Amino acid sequence: MILRNLTVLGSTGSIGVSTLDVVARHPERFRVKALTAQNRVERLLEQCLAFQPEYAVMLDRASAERLQSEISARRLPIRVLSGQDGLEFVASLPGIDTVVAAIVGAAGLRPTLAAARSGKRVLLANKETLVMAGRLFMDTVREHGATLLPIDSEHNAIFQALPPAYSGDLAQAGVRRILLTASGGPFRNTPLDALDQVTPEQACAHPNWVMGRKISVDSATMMNKGLEVIEAHWLFGAAAEQIQVVIHPQSVIHSMVEYVDGSVIAQLGNPDMRTPIAYALSFPERIEAGVSPVDLFRIATLNFDSPDLVRFPCLSLAYQALKAGGTGPAILNAANEVAVDSFLARELPFTAIPRLIEHVLGTVGTEPVRSLDDVLQADRNARAAALEWRALSGKASRASVTARK
């Protein structure tokens, strides 16, 4: 049995909490060396008390100062760091062999790259790393001998359904295509004319999964699945045409691989992130994860449907960005982050999310990606264009209301 030393990037989020739940079940296998969060001081303090890491990092500097005060008051031997430098430091520590990359958003890009450059075993949940900088990240993994294990439920399912020695060549492995399942979110059957009135609370109420607010909204728009299409392209060497999204409301089949001989291999399980996390943590072994087994007799029926691109235009926009290549996916991601933040802040209606993204994709020119600076510049340009569109849209909406009065 190998004892693994872990850094958990984004430990207070849903993926981080699930990771620590699995880790706590196997103290003989795992040691938590570093935990990180953005600004949830109380929750990170609780985790520090439970797992006694050597390092705790907060992205927000003021929050780090508060955490340091709490740590010092308890005389805990934990070093508190802050900012991107702190995240990159604990992602590349010599004593760490496994890094769980679960920071949501572009903030997770640099520390995840740092882990790959240090040759770590990277358990990837941060979508933005592959969406924004897929080629750079995959090249870094290969050049530095890092090990990449996906812990998104869909990509982990594909990983399990592919041949054990899969080399990145679908044709050589006899694979026809990847079938990426999606629940369809909370608005799969909502009348189209009612979507404009959707509230953040409704969008965050996922029917199957317990997730953070941003990823819940992405699931409701199916942008989450669009980002996963881009991830699957980089993870498995699949062209856009080889990735088919399948609506599967029960979320029991987490994804499938279709082979040229007509076989389809699927991975099934209850909708609980601890399953893919446990598989990646212990790979190539399997360990108990605290997840109840699937009751096929209770489920009885599994349904499948093709996605409605009128209802879910964000999915089409993601395929468009993937085919554009270069900085296209980074532009898509930045525009989506601004759009979702604006919706959650009640500054834009739900149906404005794809409109904002489409405008930004059509406004910000796509460039080749030669370095991380190219990606970050595209991210900045896209955010500026998105914020400008939001401001103009808000003025137009207020003017319309005034005219009606």
With 0.85 as the threshold, say if the pTM is over it: yes
Q: How far apart are CA 341 and CA 333, in angstroms?
A: 12
Q: How far apart are CA 391 and CA 364, in angstroms?
A: 17
Q: Give tens-digit pLDDT for 159-213.
A: 999 998 898 999 999 999 999 999 998 999 999 999 999 999 999 987 766 677 8
Q: Are 141 and 99 in contact (CB under 8 A)?
A: no
Q: For the residues 220-248, what does the mean pLDDT come to?
A: 96
Q: Closest Cα partner for 333 from 111, 133, 141? A: 133
Q: How far apart are CA 228 and CA 127, in angstroms?
A: 7
Do strands 175-182 and 253-259 pair parallel, antiparallel, or not at all (unpaired)? antiparallel
Give the distance, in angstroms, between the CA of residue 219 and the centroid of all CA atoms in the same chain: 11
Asked if pLDDT for residue 405 goes beyond 60, the answer is: no
What fold is seen in the domain 325-404?
Rna Polymerase Sigma Factor; Chain: A (1.10.1740)
Q: Give tens-digit pLDDT for 21-31.
A: 999 999 999 99
290 backbone φψ class: left, alpha, beta (φ>0; ψ -120 to 50):
left
Asked if pLDDT for residue 402 goes beyond 50, the answer is: no
């953070």: which residue's tokens? 212
Cβ neighbours of residue 378 closer than 8 Å, sequence gap 6 or more: 327, 330, 331, 334, 364, 366, 367
Q: Give tens-digit pLDDT for 314-348.
A: 999 999 999 999 999 999 999 999 999 999 999 99
């604990």: which residue's tokens? 90
Tell me, what DSSP letter sits at residue 261? T
Q: Are 224 and 129 in contact (CB under 8 A)?
A: no
Q: Hey, where are the domains in the chain?
A: 4-151, 158-270, 325-404
């740590």: which residue's tokens? 71
Cross-strand bridge partners of residue 266: 256
CATH code, 4-151: 3.40.50.720
